[in-house]
Amino acid sequence: MKLDKICLFILACLISASCADLNYTEENTRDEDWTYEYFGEGIKNMVFDVYAQVYTQEFESNSAYFLAGATDEAMYALETGAVNNYTNGGWNPANPNSTIWDKSYTAIAEIHMFLEKLHKTDLSDWEYNDDYKIWMAQLELFPYELRFLRAYFYFELFKAYGDVPLVTTTLTNAQANNVKRTPAAEVVKFIVDEIDEIAPHLPISYATEVNSEYGRANRMAAYALKARTLLYAASPLHNPDNDKVKWEEAAKACALIVDNAEAWGLKFSKYADLWGDNAFFNQELIWGIGRGASNAFEMAHYPVGVENGSSGNCPTQSFVDQYEYVADGVTFGERNSGSIDLTAGNPYEGLDPRFALTVVKNGDEWPTNGSQKKVIETFMGGFNASPKYGATPTGYYLRKYVDGSCVTTADNQVTRRHTWIIFRLGEIYLDYAEAVYNATGSANDKTYGLSANEAINKLRNRADIQMPEFTEDGAAWVERYERERLVELAFENHRFWDVRRWKKGEQYFETIKVANISAEKQLTRSTVTRQWDDKYYFFPIPQTEIKKNPALVQNPGW
């Protein structure tokens, strides 16, 4: 499994180095015939150009696409952060605050061009080249990889916009400017049918494939996409009548991965190993975004007061309140509902180990590198606190995904590799639990193998977590499940979409709690009100697209 992912970093570097030279145009030195007669610089670069759209901006330092700051997980410390547009009403069709539409349809158009002109490929002049057999073997997989990527981009469009134009061929400009939106159910069916058709042709692992280019789409990623798509389709936003059949389809899709995980080389890792310099080799990772060595994310998220730190996405008290104590499963918020005297003891002691791996609190030593390590002060007037500009507005800083070994000083900087998770086994077990509970009506039903509670307890029983097991059912189970999903998948870009598909935006996103820590280290909570409107369940279609194509109908409320 370690080898099964190493090439993703290579792929990311190749993308960044070559994207500007991929399209054949009149201004280019290459033409269409040339492109299909050369493998590495022609055909393969076209495939990499599609992969590049997956790797665009998702976790950049001050991007609207690191979406935690638009949820109850976090507040973005700087008011200029693009993510704040989602919470202050600063987005609209003229300023959609998202590139999902553009990048997805750009990638889809490139895929159609490749698939429709694949017959033009002629590598016969290279038949005696040492790499010829390798090229032909990879060429055989490219159409299946690209069809997976097309399904992936249609899922991205579906989750953001609902009904979207479902286009499966190259269009002229006139045709593109007259397409209508396809019902979401048909888009979901297309994604599922594509995965069912192509997944058997994709390798489970690239370990036995020529050149072992492991960052490419594999069978596990395809089935994970199917499972997530069906889970979203079964959720209240897309299933208002709570059709049990949709939940059953989602449960079966998740069960396929759960049942085959061990045979496919997947297993739970330590929670702390999900990020950091070696996270790309983690056996829990199904598909991720590998980045070369950098400390930009650390500069964006180290606390103010740490050299070149900008605070970034700061965990909220609402989020911290959801962590349970190891001894009895009581949450931090339940046990510490009023004012907390931080000088009288440590109220965080005994919390779920995932808390300390996710959140930096007052009194922690952070970052971990020797040259910048210090005791963090988030009390009023503290070294990392208000009234310093850009200090945490919540009383906490982010640790998860932030590599504390990076050095961000002006001189002698240290950088590390980063891996952003797209699919991992932990998510699949949670997806499975949710789907099985809703399909059967019970958290203890074993129709699909594991019960919902057993699936969640597999996560909570990991050696480095060891949290009290789930035994609930009914409404109490739903409440605890939503909390568990928040804690386990924190800052992995799930919460923004989960709350929307559950149609619980007003419940979770309209008001959040932050910690105010006085100079005397007394912690109190205050409420921050954010803008929420039910139209936010779906994104606005960019106004530029509406102007070009009058056949498109804008989402309700926009």
Mention every residue, 6+ apart, whose C-beta is less than 8 A from residue 346.
none
1-65+99-217 CATH, one of 3.40.1350.10, 2.60.110.10, 3.30.930.10, 1.25.40.890: 1.25.40.890
Distances (CA, A) of 226 to 137, 223, 229, 254, 529: 26, 5, 5, 8, 36
Measured CA to CA, the distance from residue 4 to residue 10 in angstroms comes to 13
The three-class DSSP label of residue 38 is coil
Checking if the pLDDT of 445 tops 70, the result is yes
The per-residue pLDDT of the chain, averaged, comes to 89
Distances (CA, A) of 290 to 11, 21, 107, 184, 278: 8, 22, 19, 31, 10
Measured between alpha carbons, how far apart are the two ends of the chain, in Å? 46
Closest by CA position to 100, among listed 129, 139, 58, 142: 58
Length of the chain: 558
Measured CA to CA, the distance from residue 502 to residue 444 in angstroms comes to 22
Mean pLDDT, residues 410-414: 96
The three-class DSSP label of residue 134 is helix
Instruction: Answer with the residue of higher pLDDT: 262 or 137.
Output: 262
- The neighbour count for residue 339, using CB atoms within 10 Å, is 11
pLDDT for the residue numbered 32: 65
β-pairing verdict for 397-398 and 359-360: antiparallel
Cβ atoms 333, 325 nearer than 8 A: no
**pLDDT > 90 fraction of the chain, expressed in percent and rounded:** 77
List for the chain the helix, strand, coil content (%; round to 5): 45, 10, 45
pLDDT per residue over 273-306, tens digit each?
Answer: 999 999 988 999 999 888 889 999 999 999 999 9
Checking if the pLDDT of 223 tops 60, the result is yes
Distances (CA, A) of 444 to 371, 433, 474: 51, 10, 10
Measured CA to CA, the distance from residue 284 to residue 462 in angstroms comes to 12
pLDDT per residue over 12-62, tens digit each?
Answer: 433 333 332 233 333 334 456 556 656 656 677 778 888 888 865 555 554
Mean pLDDT, residues 128-144: 79
Measured CA to CA, the distance from residue 304 to residue 77 in angstroms comes to 10
pLDDT per residue over 347-383, tens digit each?
Answer: 999 999 999 999 999 999 999 999 999 999 999 999 9
The three-class DSSP label of residue 438 is helix
pLDDT band at 508 (very low <50, low <70, confident <90, very high): very high
Burial class (CB in 10 A: 0-12, 13-18, 19+), 347: middle
Measured CA to CA, the distance from residue 46 to residue 21 in angstroms comes to 9
pLDDT band at 212 (very low <50, low <70, confident <90, very high): low
Measured CA to CA, the distance from residue 205 to residue 1 in angstroms comes to 8
Measured CA to CA, the distance from residue 491 to residue 507 in angstroms comes to 19
Q: Where are the domains of the chain?
A: 1-65+99-217
pLDDT for the residue numbered 47: 83
Measured CA to CA, the distance from residue 355 to residue 323 in angstroms comes to 7
Mean pLDDT, residues 245-251: 98
pLDDT for the residue numbered 529: 97
Mean pLDDT, residues 523-543: 98
Cβ atoms 204, 264 nearer than 8 A: yes
pLDDT for the residue numbered 45: 78
Checking if the pLDDT of 121 tops 90, the result is no
Checking if the pLDDT of 410 tops 60, the result is yes
Choice among 93-102, 378-387, 480-489 with the minimum mean pLDDT: 93-102
Element (H, E) at 512: strand 511-517
Cβ atoms 395, 377 nearer than 8 A: no
Would you list the DSSP string of 292-344? EEE-HHHHHHSPTTSTT----EEEPHHHHTTPBBTTT--BHHHH--S-EETTS
Where would I find the beta strands (DSSP E) of 38-128? 74-76
Structure tokens, 466: 């060891």
pLDDT for the residue numbered 356: 98
Checking if the pLDDT of 10 tops 60, the result is no
pLDDT for the residue numbered 13: 37
Structure tokens, 411: 């001189």
Residue with tokens 């959040």: 512
pLDDT per residue over 59-100, tens digit each?
Answer: 555 455 589 999 999 999 998 888 999 999 999 999 999 889
- Torsion on CA atoms 475, 477, 483, 485, rounded to nearest 10: -120
pLDDT per residue over 137-173, tens digit each?
Answer: 778 888 999 999 999 999 999 999 999 999 999 999 9
> What amino acid is encoded at 118 in this protein?
L
